[in-house]
């Protein structure tokens, strides 16, 4: 805290003022969306729209959740939830198992598997969309949850993270467990898994948001509105051509699309920041 | 209760030989300390007995049965690790009970045995705590407790005291010794600290570069080291080694060395002793005094005398002398040779 | 880095690896290989046959005016997003770091946009600047500025940069704040005792000590701008006007799915693959170096 060096005075208050201005700028788009989701369509299409919430909150949100435009937003929320949870839990599961195998065993081909898995680091789905689309279509997985989930868990970021964590677990713990008579899977369940709790939780937050916020992939493979996720579904709510968009409902949907990930981030803030800073460094 | 036999035990990592063949018969209830500098292979040897390292050649026998291919859990051993290796997410009770749970011991018996061990180690109040809520000494006791509850044939200790401060180390050393004697369990104990080795061991194995230089009772090793390495490693301050040039005209050592312990040297006025020295500085420790001096050719030499005796001044020119039977002669390979 | 202890056996580890290996093979290596393979073919108009053209697609792409324009657009876009989001984040982080108490409150408020999907961020910014209903566009009109990102290329670029940077400020802020708080206070106090004023201290002490964080964020933000901003572009401009906001990832999508030119799209994927590969290597070198700090 370089504040220790500063005098408390004008500079101190200027710091707060600067931060408050920053927070206001950052918050303004969200605030505006919230206001738009609580007013009527005429109030928006005759600019300027009000900057303070109106009384249509329940109407707009009910309308969005129950009927939506192409599909009920409640349905899209459920789809997003399945996809985000599937990606977060699926990736954690396959990653922790393979990291355990790579770190705690010596077997033929270990190095090859290691490098094959690690080649996938940082290569986003955007880069290989066309062939991946063909694979998923070939499996008949278009408009399905498995089609939404599997291609997005095919990367090694989480494996890498677990591997790094396992490397910091003292060797003696595994030795003590062996002396205590624990076989490999017993050691995994009783010792390694409980010790990884915070890492798992932090990773869950990051992966949940990653999954929830996916856009291009669901856009490609969910042609059925009932399979749309909320993040990609918003864009589908805009009319083609010159028709006027139903802004209150669209904005209510936008707010609904933000709420779950924001709740996750804020409620697990400490874990998430630790996980983020650790995982990316 | 067990006997252990190491038979021509060898270990290599790839092409590097780290243990060159060690033989020893360990009697039931004996406390054996393996001592040596870091990298001498002492921990590797212990881990081979534990079953945590494979044996390259030779054999480990427990109770006359070869155990080379047995898993650690099937050897009926217990091990105390240098960093204790307590499971951080488990309570003290669960840490001690873990091995018994895996062995499917009945719940009541687990509770009974953990309670008994906790009582023995004065850990009863801490059973519900997590390892991070304990002091270093308490963690050490938990690690001991985890070993005790399993009622093993053999205790294996891998530098268990090196993470404790000096005072606690002395206290725990005593406790370990008493515990081992009262339980009567055969123990193998690895340390780099020769004081621990001297105080704990019934017999010690002095390791040097993968070779057991000497195996014997502490005082026997101290009094009669078989190699220059052992003479230098056991005893503090270390033995003085003098070469032919240092000893010109005093003793004939050829291309070997003469070892003489600091406590076997006495200072005397110049001209009355065997070697002339210049006193560099003195360290008065109270009960004893260490005098660091140099020979005419600059070689260092240390003399230890009783704390009651008069301190020589720095820069004083004096002689040192010794009893002929205190001298240890070594050949050019460091092997002990009979005094001429 | 290897573990000293290991468990024996090879069946169990192979079973443990199997789920990841199978999923990665089917949904990663096979498609990636396909991308490389397809990049060397031109399909006929009916999609029945393909003609092998070797590096023809690449040669065509690299000489293609539109593709080169997309490269330039991506460079400008990534550069702007990186500078804007990192600049704003650093400014806020330095302010928050000056506070002895209360930086946690600001942190909680400032991490909100991290949770907002790029596509949703695009909708929010589109709404503010919409030419018909956008409240910011309306007030700009009041000031005599006629905002129209649908027609004006620079304004379109400005809007996608703003929306993309907005979502990124949180992330950069968290790392900068962590980086600043990791600088030993004694170093800064020593500089203060030496008489350095705030700005001098920042320029000569704080910023150099922050350089590992800055460099890391630079790479990560460029990668973000390259790949994860698809949602912003698609919701706000759809690459327009006149392809002024068509970045490389958008063009892969547009050519492959809209234009159905699979060979070209695959070749573009391969080029992106090489770009990402290079950045990964840079980042890994950096991570390695960081270990020795």
pLDDT, one tens digit per residue, over C136-174 is 999 998 898 888 888 899 999 999 999 999 989 999 998
For residue C47, what pLDDT is reported? 63
Does position C103 have pLDDT exceeding 90, yes or no? no
SS3 B77: strand
Closest alpha carbon within chain C to A4 = C100
Neighbours of B93 (CB within 10 A): 20
For helices C262-291 and C30-38, give the axis angle rounded to 10 degrees. Answer: 130
Closest alpha carbon within chain A to C17 = A98
Longest CA span, chain C: 77
User: What is the C-alpha separation between A269 and A263, in angstroms, rounded?
Assistant: 9
For residue A1, what pLDDT is reported? 41
CA distance C146 to chain A (A): 15
Percentage of chain B exceeding pLDDT 70: 99
Task: Give the position of tokens 């993470």.
Answer: B163
Query: Is B87 within 8 Å of B26 (Cβ atoms)?
Result: no
Buried b (16+ CB within 10 A) or exposed e, C116-135: bbbbbbbbbbbbbbbeebbb
Query: Comparing C-alpha atoms, which of B183, B117, B184 is closest to residue B144?
Result: B117
Mean pLDDT of C230-234: 93
Of B52, B82, B99, the CB nearest to A181: B99
User: What is the C-alpha separation between C258 and B151, in angstroms, rounded?
Assistant: 73
Does position C88 have pLDDT exceeding 60, yes or no? yes
Buried b (16+ CB within 10 A) or exposed e, A112-137: ebbebbbbbebbbbbbbbbbbbebbe
Domain presence at residue C59: no
For residue A2, what pLDDT is reported? 44
pLDDT band at B240 (very low <50, low <70, confident <90, very high): very high
Query: Is A64 within 8 Å of A256 (Cβ atoms)?
Result: yes
Task: Give the position of tokens 């949940």.
Answer: A208
Q: Which is it for strands B16-26 and B4-13: parallel, antiparallel or unpaired?
A: antiparallel
Query: Comparing C-alpha atoms, which of B32, B156, B134 is closest to residue B90?
Result: B134
What are the structure tokens assigned to B296, written together? Answer: 């005419």
Interface of C with A in 161-180 (CB under 8 A): 166, 169-171, 174-175, 178, 180
Query: Is B5 within 8 Å of B24 (Cβ atoms)?
Result: yes
Residues B204, B207, B211, B213: what is their CA dihedral angle, to the nearest 10 degrees? -60
Best of C10, C13, C186, C203 to disrupt the A interface (most A CBs within 10 Å) is: C13
Q: Which of B131-135, B164-168, C98-102 has the lowest mean pLDDT?
A: C98-102
- In tens, the pLDDT along B167-176 reads 889 988 998 9
Q: Residue C102: left (phi > 0), alpha (psi -120 to 50), or beta?
A: left
Neighbours of C277 (CB within 10 A): 13
Contact between C21 and A129 using a beta-carbon 8 Å cutoff: no
Domain presence at residue C40: no
Supply φ then ψ for residue C117, to 5 degrees.
-65, 145
For residue A160, what pLDDT is reported? 83
Domain presence at residue C200: no
Residue C164: CATH number of its domain: 1.10.3720.10
Best of C8, C19, C24, C193 to disrupt the A interface (most A CBs within 10 Å) is: C24
For residue C165, what pLDDT is reported? 95
Task: Collect all residues from B whose CB is shorter than 8 A from any CB in A.
Answer: 50-52, 71-73, 77-79, 81-89, 98-99, 102-103, 146, 150
For helices C65-98 and C153-181, give the axis angle rounded to 10 degrees. Answer: 40
CA distance A199 to chain B (A): 14
3-class SS letters over chain C: CCCCCCECCCHHHHHHHHHHHHHHHHHHHHHHHHHHHHCCEEECCCCCCEEECCCHHHHHHHHCHHHHHHHHHHHHHHHHHHHHHHHHHHHHHHHHHHCCCCHHHHHHHHCHHHHCCHHHHHHHHHHHHCCCCCHHHHHHHHCCCCCCCCCCHHHHHHHHHHHHHHHHHHHHHHHHHHHHHCCCHHHHHHHHHCCCCHHHHHHHHHHHHCHHHHHHHHHHHHHHHHHCCHHHHHHHCCCCCCCCCCCHHHHHHHHHHHCCCHHHHHHHHHHHHHHHHHHHHHHHHHHHHHHCC
Instruction: Compute the half-sphere exposure of residue B248: CA atoms within 13 Å on the CB side of its CA.
Output: 7
Domain presence at residue A262: yes
pLDDT band at C290 (very low <50, low <70, confident <90, very high): very low
- In tens, the pLDDT along C188-226 reads 888 878 877 778 888 888 888 888 888 888 888 988 898
CA distance A158 to chain C (A): 11
Contact between C28 and A123 using a beta-carbon 8 Å cutoff: yes
- In tens, the pLDDT along B175-214 reads 899 999 999 999 999 999 999 999 999 999 999 989 999 9
Interface of A with B in 224-253 (CB under 8 A): none
Q: Which chains touch C (3 or more CB pairs under 8 A)?
A: A
Does position A122 have pLDDT exceeding 60, yes or no? no
User: In angstroms, what CA-CA distances link A235 with A132, A218, A223, A254?
Assistant: 23, 12, 13, 10
- Identify the structural domains of chain B with CATH numbers, from first to last: 4-232 (3.40.50.300), 238-337 (2.40.50.140)
Domain presence at residue A216: yes
For residue B87, what pLDDT is reported? 94
For residue B45, what pLDDT is reported? 93
Contact between A172 and B82 using a beta-carbon 8 Å cutoff: yes
Contact between A195 and B89 using a beta-carbon 8 Å cutoff: yes
Does position C105 have pLDDT exceeding 80, yes or no? yes
CA distance B51 to chain A (A): 8
- In tens, the pLDDT along A197-212 reads 888 988 898 899 999 9
Contact between C269 and A123 using a beta-carbon 8 Å cutoff: no
Contact between A128 and C134 using a beta-carbon 8 Å cutoff: no
Neighbours of C284 (CB within 10 A): 13
Asked if ipTM goes beyond 0.90, one says no
Contact between A176 and B88 using a beta-carbon 8 Å cutoff: no
Contact between B102 and A182 using a beta-carbon 8 Å cutoff: yes
Q: What is the DSSP letter of B160?
A: T
pLDDT band at C280 (very low <50, low <70, confident <90, very high): confident
pLDDT band at C274 (very low <50, low <70, confident <90, very high): confident
Domain presence at residue A199: yes
Contact between B99 and A172 using a beta-carbon 8 Å cutoff: no
CA distance A188 to chain C (A): 11
Query: Is B318 within 8 Å of B268 (Cβ atoms)?
Result: yes
* Bridge partners (DSSP) listed for residue B291: B282, B303
User: What is the C-alpha separation between A1 and C92, in angstroms, rounded?
Assistant: 14
Domain presence at residue C10: no
How many domains is chain A partitioned into structurally? Answer: 1
Chain A positions touching C192 (Cβ under 8 A) are 5
- In tens, the pLDDT along A171-195 reads 999 999 999 989 999 999 999 999 9
Interface of C with A in 50-79 (CB under 8 A): none
Tell me the Cα Rg of chain C: 24
Contact between A179 and B98 using a beta-carbon 8 Å cutoff: no
CA distance B189 to chain A (A): 16
Mean pLDDT of C64-68: 88
Closest alpha carbon within chain C to A218 = C231
Chain B positions touching A180 (Cβ under 8 A) are 73, 98-99, 102, 146, 150
For residue C291, what pLDDT is reported? 37
Contact between A5 and C34 using a beta-carbon 8 Å cutoff: no
For residue B127, what pLDDT is reported? 94
Query: Comparing C-alpha atoms, which of B213, B154, B166 is closest to residue B334?
Result: B213
For residue A79, what pLDDT is reported? 95
Across the A:B interface, residue pairs with CB atoms under 8 Å apart total 59
Mean pLDDT of A236-257: 87
Contact between C5 and A219 using a beta-carbon 8 Å cutoff: no
What are the structure tokens assigned to C65, written together? Answer: 């005016």
Does position C110 have pLDDT exceeding 80, yes or no? yes
Q: Which chains touch B (3 or more CB pairs under 8 A)?
A: A
Domain presence at residue C54: no
Residue A153: CATH number of its domain: 1.10.3720.10
The total number of residues written for chain A in this structure:
281
Helix ranges restricted to H, B150-206: 166-183, 194-200
What are the structure tokens assigned to B109, written together? Answer: 């018996």
For residue A124, what pLDDT is reported? 65
Task: Name the more confident of C58 and B60.
Answer: B60
Percentage of chain B exceeding pLDDT 90: 69
User: What is the C-alpha separation between B98 and B78, in angstroms, rounded?
Assistant: 13
Q: Which helix (H) or strand (E) holds A125?
A: none
Closest alpha carbon within chain A to B52 = A175
Chain B positions touching A201 (Cβ under 8 A) are none
For A203, the domain range is 69-280
For residue A51, what pLDDT is reported? 85
Supply φ then ψ for residue B170, to 5 degrees.
-65, -40
Q: What is the DSSP letter of B310?
A: P
Task: Name the more confident of C136 and A275.
Answer: C136
User: What is the C-alpha separation between A32 and A53, in angstroms, rounded?
Assistant: 9
Q: Which of A5-9, A96-100, A205-209 has the lowest mean pLDDT?
A: A5-9
Query: Comparing C-alpha atoms, which of A110, A132, A114, A135 is closest to residue A123?
Result: A132
How many domains is chain C partitioned into structurally? Answer: 1
pLDDT band at A123 (very low <50, low <70, confident <90, very high): low
For C267, the domain range is 67-98+109-182+208-291
Chain A positions touching C265 (Cβ under 8 A) are 130
Query: Is B85 within 8 Å of B98 (Cβ atoms)?
Result: no
For residue A4, what pLDDT is reported? 47
User: What is the C-alpha separation between B323 and B307, in angstroms, rounded?
Assistant: 20
For residue A177, what pLDDT is reported? 93
Contact between B85 and A197 using a beta-carbon 8 Å cutoff: no
pTM, full prediction: 0.85
User: Across chain B, what does the average pLDDT equal?
Assistant: 91
Contact between A180 and B85 using a beta-carbon 8 Å cutoff: no
Chain B positions touching A188 (Cβ under 8 A) are none
For residue A116, what pLDDT is reported? 76
Q: Which of A14-23, C46-55, C99-108 has the lowest mean pLDDT?
A: C46-55
Chain B positions touching A181 (Cβ under 8 A) are 72-73, 99, 102-103
Query: Comparing C-alpha atoms, which of B39, B81, B13, B23 is closest to residue B192?
Result: B39
What are the structure tokens assigned to B39, written together? Answer: 């990298």
Neighbours of C164 (CB within 10 A): 30
Domain presence at residue C194: no
Of A28, A107, A154, the CB nearest to C27: A154
Mean pLDDT of A228-243: 86
């Amino acid at each position: 805290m370089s504040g220790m060096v500063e005098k408390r005075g004008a500079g101190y208050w200027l710091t707060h003022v600067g931060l408050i201005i920053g927070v206001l700028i950052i918050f303004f788009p969200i605030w505006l969306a919230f206001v738009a989701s609580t007013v009527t369509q005429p109030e928006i299409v005759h600019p300027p729209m009000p900057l303070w919430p109106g009384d249509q909150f329940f109407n707009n949100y009910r309308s969005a959740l129950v009927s939506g435009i192409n599909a009920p937003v409640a349905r899209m929320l459920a789809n997003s939830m399945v996809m985000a949870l599937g990606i977060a839990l699926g990736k954690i599961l396959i990653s922790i198992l393979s990291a355990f195998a790579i770190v705690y065993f010596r077997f033929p081909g270990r190095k090859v598997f290691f490098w094959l898995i690690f080649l996938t680091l940082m290569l986003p789905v955007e880069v290989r969309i066309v062939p991946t689309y063909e694979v998923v279509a070939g499996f008949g997985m278009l408009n399905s949850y498995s089609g939404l989930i599997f291609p997005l868990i095919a990367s090694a970021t989480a494996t890498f993270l677990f591997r790094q964590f396992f490397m910091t677990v003292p060797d003696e713990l595994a030795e003590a467990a062996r002396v205590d008579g624990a076989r490999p899977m017993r050691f995994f369940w009783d010792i390694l898994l409980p010790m990884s709790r915070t890492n798992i939780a932090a990773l869950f937050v990051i992966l949940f948001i990653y999954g929830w916020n996916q856009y291009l992939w669901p856009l490609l493979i969910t042609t059925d509105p009932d399979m749309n996720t909320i993040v990609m579904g918003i864009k589908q709510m805009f009319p083609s051509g010159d028709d006027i968009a139903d802004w209150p409902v669209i904005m209510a949907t936008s707010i609904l699309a933000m709420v779950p990930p924001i709740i996750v981030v804020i409620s697990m803030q400490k874990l998430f920041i630790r996980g983020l800073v650790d995982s990316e460094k | 209760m067990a006997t252990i036999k190491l038979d021509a035990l060898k270990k290599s990592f790839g092409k590097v030989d780290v243990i060159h063949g060690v033989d020893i018969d360990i009697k039931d209830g004996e406390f054996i300390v393996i001592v040596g500098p870091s990298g001498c292979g002492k921990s590797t040897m212990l881990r081979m007995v534990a079953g945590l390292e494979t044996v390259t050649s030779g054999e480990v026998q427990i109770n006359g049965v070869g155990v080379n291919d047995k898993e650690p859990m099937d050897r009926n051993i217990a091990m105390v690790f240098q960093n204790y290796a307590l499971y951080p997410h488990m309570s003290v009770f669960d840490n001690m009970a873990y091995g018994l749970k895996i062995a499917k011991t009945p719940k009541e018996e687990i509770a009974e045995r953990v309670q008994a061990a906790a009582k023995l180690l004065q850990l009863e109040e801490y059973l519900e705590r997590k390892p991070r809520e304990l002091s270093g000494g308490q963690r050490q006791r938990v690690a001991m407790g985890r070993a005790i509850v399993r009622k093993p044939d053999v205790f294996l200790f891998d530098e268990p005291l090196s993470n404790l401060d000096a005072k606690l180390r002395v206290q725990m050393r005593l406790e370990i010794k008493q515990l081992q004697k009262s339980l009567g369990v055969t123990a193998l104990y690895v340390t780099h600290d020769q004081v621990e080795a001297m105080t704990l061991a019934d017999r010690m194995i002095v390791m040097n570069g993968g070779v057991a230089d000497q195996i014997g009772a502490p005082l026997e090793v101290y009094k009669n080291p078989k190699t220059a390495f052992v003479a230098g490693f056991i005893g503090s301050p270390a033995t003085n080694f003098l070469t032919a040039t240092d000893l010109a005209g005093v003793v004939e050592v050829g291309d070997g060395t003469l070892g003489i312990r600091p406590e076997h040297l006495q200072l005397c006025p110049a001209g009355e002793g065997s070697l002339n020295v210049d006193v560099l500085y003195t360290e008065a420790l109270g009960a004893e005094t260490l005098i660091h001096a140099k020979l005419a050719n600059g070689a260092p030499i240390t003399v230890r005398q009783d704390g009651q005796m008069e301190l020589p001044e720095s820069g004083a020119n004096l002689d040192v002398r010794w009893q002929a039977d205190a001298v240890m002669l070594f050949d050019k390979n460091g092997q002990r040779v009979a005094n001429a | 880095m290897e573990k000293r202890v290991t468990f024996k056996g090879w069946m169990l580890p192979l079973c443990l690896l199997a789920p990841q290996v199978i999923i990665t093979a089917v949904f990663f290596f096979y498609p990636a290989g396909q991308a490389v393979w397809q990049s060397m073919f031109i399909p006929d108009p009916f999609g029945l046959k393909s003609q092998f053209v070797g590096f023809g697609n690449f040669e065509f792409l690299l000489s293609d005016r539109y593709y080169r324009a997309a490269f330039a657009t991506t460079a400008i876009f990534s550069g702007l997003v990186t500078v804007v989001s990192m600049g704003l984040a650093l400014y806020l982080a330095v302010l928050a770091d000056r506070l002895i108490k209360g930086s946690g409150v600001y942190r909680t408020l400032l991490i909100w946009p991290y949770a907002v999907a790029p596509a949703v961020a695009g909708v929010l910014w589109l709404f503010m600047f919409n030419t018909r209903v956008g409240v910011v566009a309306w007030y700009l009109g009041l000031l005599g500025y006629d905002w129209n990102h649908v027609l004006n290329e620079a304004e379109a670029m400005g809007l996608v940069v703003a929306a993309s940077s907005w979502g990124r400020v949180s992330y950069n802020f968290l790392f900068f704040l962590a980086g600043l708080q990791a600088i030993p206070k004694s170093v800064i106090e020593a500089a203060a005792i030496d008489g350095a004023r705030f700005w001098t201290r920042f320029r000569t002490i704080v910023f150099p000590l922050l350089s590992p964080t800055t460099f890391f964020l630079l790479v990560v933000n460029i990668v973000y701008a390259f790949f994860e901003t698809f949602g912003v572009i698609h919701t706000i401009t759809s690459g327009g006007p006149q392809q002024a906001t068509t970045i490389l990832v958008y063009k892969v999508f547009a050519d492959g799915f809209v234009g159905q030119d699979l060979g070209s799209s695959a070749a573009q994927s391969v080029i992106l693959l090489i770009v990402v590969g290079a950045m990964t290597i840079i980042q890994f070198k950096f991570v390695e170096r960081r270990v020795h700090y």
